[in-house]
Amino acid sequence: MSEVERPIEDLRSSKGELGSFAGADMSTGLIWGIKRSFLAYLSRMPDLKSSVSGGASVAPELGLYHFPLASSDAYDYGTGQGTLKFQGDLRFSGHFGFLFVMLVDPWVTFDDGLATLSFHDVEADPELADDSARRPMLGLGYPGYVDAHGIRDWQLIPTSLRTEAVSVFNEVYPPGELFEPLHMRVTL
Ligand code: HEM
């Protein structure tokens, strides 16, 4: 287990114990709060279990998750097209196992005017043996960025749920439902 990996734990009892993004290098990476009302729903579950591993970290008091940059090899800094690969593994379970949400290795892809956040498709590949199975989860407002001090920085990218990911949330949220905005920083 790496030092940022943590065992399954209760989000509520972790408040104040882990601190904000404990152990994480925040100079680059992707920061996302999933959906505030979903985290509030989870926090009301008496049997909630959650885990944050694979490089991801959490600021429980802010309801934000950080995924470090894994690779920008497939991203073209000149054209702004391609894929930025972040890594990390979030899991939530509750309702005696009826609810299980797993969000693994977010990638952001810029493709000809469309920006998409995808996750590893754990249903297609539960053993995580092949990273080519991806599930688009969010459509992103096509974001502008700032290049400064050796960092490319995107702030407050609007996000909305893609049709392909409606089943992840038990079809409670319709396509187009607003999720929390994304922040991203990568080295230039
Ligand atoms: C035993 C099975 C389940 C029961 C009894 C149940 C019950 C409920 C109830 C009562 C609410 C509304 C109350 C509240 O906001 O606190 C709710 C909302 C919700 N449930 Fe479930 N649920 C179940 C399974 C699931 C599963 C499998 C998922 C998959 C992720 C899920 C996702 C959601 C979502 C996304 C919301 C809306 C949260 C929000 O944004 O306000 N539920 N559920």
Q: What is the pLDDT of residue 112?
A: 87
What was the pLDDT predicted at 20? 80
CA of 80 to the centre of ligand 1 (A): 38
DSSP label of 43: H
CA distances (Å), origin 141, targets 4, 135, 163: 31, 18, 16
Report the pLDDT value the prediction gives residue 12, as an integer from 0 to 100: 38
CB atoms within 10 A of CB 35: 18
DSSP code for 18: S
- CB of 41 within 6 A of ligand 1: the answer is yes
Protein residue with its CA nearest to atom 3 in ligand 1:
95
Long-range (24+ apart) CB contacts under 8 A made by 46-50 are 47/94, 47/95, 47/96, 48/10, 48/11, 48/12, 48/92, 48/93, 48/94, 49/8, 49/9, 49/10, 49/91, 49/92, 49/93, 49/94, 50/8, 50/9, 50/10, 50/11, 50/90, 50/91, 50/92, 50/93
Count how many Cα atoms sit within 13 Å of the Cα of residue 66 in the half-sphere of its side chain: 21
Residue 162: per-residue pLDDT: 97
Task: Identify whether the C-beta of residue 124 lies closer than 8 Å to the C-beta of residue 133.
Answer: yes
pLDDT reported for residue 16: 37
Structure tokens at 184: 């991203």
User: What 3-state DSSP class applies to 21?
Assistant: coil
Domain spans of the chain?
11-187
Is 170's C-beta closer than 6 angstroms to any atom of ligand 1? Answer: yes
The per-residue pLDDT string of the chain (188 residues; one tens digit each, 9 = 90 and over) reads 333 333 334 443 333 344 588 778 888 999 999 999 999 999 999 999 999 999 999 998 889 999 999 999 999 999 999 999 999 999 999 999 899 999 999 999 999 889 999 999 877 666 655 567 899 999 999 778 999 999 999 999 999 999 999 999 999 999 999 999 999 999 99
Nearest by Cα to 88 from 58, 118, 67: 67
Do 104 and 129 meet the contact criterion of CB atoms below 8 Å apart?
A: no
**Minimal-distance CA residue to ligand 1 atom 10:** 41
E strands present in 54-150: 57-59, 64-67, 69-71, 75-76, 81-86, 89-94, 99-104, 107-111, 114-120, 134-140, 146-148
Cα 157 to middle of ligand 1, angstroms = 26
Confidence (pTM) = 0.87
Is any ligand 1 atom within 6 A of the Cβ of residue 169?
A: yes
**Does any ligand 1 atom lie closer than 6 A to the CB of residue 92?**
no
Instruction: Give the residue, by CA position, lying nearest to ligand 1 atom 20.
Output: 172
Please report the atom of ligand 1 found closest to the CA of residue 170: 29
